[in-house]
Structure 1
Amino acid sequence: MWNTNNMGNKLKHIGVLTSGGDAPGMNAAIRAVVRACTHYNIKVSGISEGYQGLIDNELRGMDARSVAHIINRGGTILKSARCQNFRTKEGRQKAHENLKKNNIDALVVIGGDGSFTGASIFSSEFNIPVIGVPGTIDNDIYGTDFTIGYDTALNCVVEAMDRIRDTATSHNRLFFIECMGRDSGFIALNAGIAGGATEILIPEDNKSIDDLVDKLKSSRASNKTSNIVLVAEGDQLGDTFKLAEKTEKLLPEYSIRVSVLGHIQRGGNPSCADRVLASRLGVSAVEQLLAGHSGIMVGVQNSSVTTVSLHDAISRKPGIDTDLVHVADIVSL
């Protein structure tokens, strides 16, 4: 429990919004923010559809009961949207006017790096206290070991791999499975190890099609009965369907199929880990504001809640774990 004697007494009303792509656990984070505000006797308003709702003045008061029974739900009850208008000074000015109209003193923004970029600019322009909460399945935010939604997305990919492997084994087929990861391979690398992929293709690892073919030849020579290649959507070898076609031409003995998991990775009930993480970070966001802090993101490192500046969260990227790449190469024999 925080020492409330150290908290500022000027904070009376907090706004909370979700922005960018939805992630399982966002509702748990909203719930934690609202109930932390209730605990500390602070008024809280939910802002619909991210920054667009702030511009359109789509706000509603929330209390502990209004967030009942949402911790287990995927998506976001506040809804989310990408807002081009907020990229303009005029749009942000209108958003600021609505904050003043509703007497909102500070914001909690749940989202990814794009959301944090908007929050950082908005905060500096109008001197509005802002705390970021990392909600994105990609886990590509600097300053936290895990982002809200990542664990659930991982479990979704691994479950899909397990199901597809049944078909791959039954028909001696090679499957290319594409998972999300436009700019990072965190999902593909970890799910690939857990799901027993023969090869994992991620943006951070410059594997060529020759490397892939050599690995598949070796696998076939060792009498492996099923093969799965897990591909992050942003891998440098390009379109997964075209990659599968090239591979089939080079290895005609394989019957190749492609499965794109797409947006099913975003949906579904959040895992226990994501619910707990979201709860911890939502409460911490409110307490950071009460302590007079702004322009930071709350995260978790080495099992402890920590903070990092929004600038660092935006401008720096977490590196891929090279030890895991090494492990993947060994266990995929």
Structure 2
Amino acid sequence: MKVGLLTGGGDCPGLNAVIRSVVRRIANAGGECVGVLEGWRGLVRGNTRPLSVAETDALIGLGGTILGSSRTNPYKNPETDVPLLRRHFAALELDALVVIGGDDTLGVAVRLINDFELPIVGIPKTIDNDLKLVDFSFGFDTAVNVVVESVERLRTTAESHRRVIVVETMGRSTGWIACFAGMAVGADYILVPEVPIDVPHLLGVLKYHRTPFKNHAIVMVAEGARYTDPELLALEPRPFSHPRLGGIGASIAEIIERQTRIETRTVVLGHLQRGGAPTAHDRILATRFGLAAGELVLQRRFGTVVTLKDARISETSLNTTALANCPLDLGFYQDAATFFYEPYEPKTKE
């Protein structure tokens, strides 16, 4: 078999480990692999490269993706890009295409399957851990560990200057990274998209926990966290086109400093969370995903996507229902919130 591979959307640690394992599975069966460069853009433009076991075997610990990535969606220009994509797919004489990406990239795959019955197998990828297809996605563990390491470094300067530091993490619509990293570093407060921001409670907790023995605080906030108070909504950043989130950390820091008179700083970790070598957990998970996808290709079980449920690798039909969003399990948040304690003080009668 001749199998194409592409990686689309945001990069994340573990993508090269996936590529390595797909190539190995197909090669062991006597097939060959072709890398499509820069996601769907590569198939529209016909940009590819051969992939061999020899050149991919050492990739397991390398971050990013050797194939490059983009957020190109051929259905944004369906009259030109979709025919070009199909023409290049046919010219390459591919028997199958393994698509590695999040809901946008896999959403294109769903349309190509439905419209043209392209032989596609999907592998879910998101550091935000926001797809119901998987209990945990590769790249997520690495991102959490990057945040934890960064916050441990920030804590010493927060202690030295008696500051509050607001750390803004990725998390467009879910708070998995903020919640898990916040729990791991013992954050004084965590703000996530799934739970409306309660500013009075946040301020009360920070004031209550500030003592001579603890003169600093760490507040974790996911980039997608939102206010509910109409007066505070005006402080939220307003994107002009495609939503590019960010800025909620600075807004929270401004409120904290204004209301508490405690010096407060903001750190936006941004794309640091995407970069670097994957953790051992993500290397293993990515390898298992790639091997499973390669096996689905060899069995010609197209129109499927790899899943992870209860530590078991399986597959399901690749369709829009399968790509549903997975919000943070609030059980984790409730455990974390045990430490956001502000004692109840009953009002005294006058």
Superposed counterparts of 1:1-333, under 5 Å: 12-89=1-78, 90-220=80-210, 223-237=213-227, 238=236, 239-252=248-261, 254-312=262-320, 315-333=323-341
Provide the rounded CA distance (Å) in 2 between the counterparts of 1:168 and 1:313: 45
Provide the rounded CA distance (Å) in 2 between the counterparts of 1:302 and 1:328: 23
Cα separation, partners in 2 of 1:294 and 1:87, compared to 1, 3 Å? farther
Provide the rounded CA distance (Å) in 2 between the counterparts of 1:86 and 1:54: 13
Cα separation, partners in 2 of 1:87 and 1:314, compared to 1, 3 Å? farther
TM-score by length of 2: 0.88
Deviation at 1:332, TM superposition (A): 4.6
Deviation at 1:51, TM superposition (A): 0.5
8 A contact 1:99–1:105 mirrored in 2:
no
Aligned residues: 321
Deviation at 1:221, TM superposition (A): 5.4
Provide the rounded CA distance (Å) in 2 between the counterparts of 1:320 and 1:250: 29
Deviation at 1:318, TM superposition (A): 1.7
Which deviates further from its counterpart, 84-93 or 263-272? Answer: 84-93
- Match of 1:146, as an amino acid? F
8 A contact 1:184–1:202 mirrored in 2:
yes
Deviation at 1:255, TM superposition (A): 1.1
- Match of 1:242, as an amino acid? S
Cα separation, partners in 2 of 1:222 and 1:198, compared to 1, 3 Å? farther
8 A contact 2:164–2:216 mirrored in 1:
yes
8 A contact 1:131–1:289 mirrored in 2:
yes
Provide the rounded CA distance (Å) in 2 between the counterparts of 1:314 and 1:88: 25
Provide the rounded CA distance (Å) in 1 between the counterparts of 2:72 and 2:139: 22
Deviation at 1:312, TM superposition (A): 5.0
Query: SS where residue 23 of structure 1 aligns?
Result: coil
Q: Which residue of 2 aligns with 1:8?
A: none
- Match of 1:251, as an amino acid? T
Query: SS where residue 37 of structure 1 aligns?
Result: helix
Higher helix share: 1
Deviation at 1:298, TM superposition (A): 0.6
Provide the rounded CA distance (Å) in 2 between the counterparts of 1:292 and 1:222: 65
Provide the rounded CA distance (Å) in 2 between the counterparts of 1:262 and 1:313: 29
Deviation at 1:88, TM superposition (A): 3.0
Deviation at 1:123, TM superposition (A): 1.7
8 A contact 2:133–2:322 mirrored in 1:
no
Cα separation, partners in 2 of 1:179 and 1:129, compared to 1, 3 Å? same
Q: CA RMSD in A?
A: 1.6
Deviation at 1:155, TM superposition (A): 0.3
8 A contact 2:192–2:225 mirrored in 1:
yes
Where structure 2 has 5 or more consecutive residues not aligned to the other structure, the ranges are 228-235, 237-247, 342-350
Deviation at 1:223, TM superposition (A): 4.8
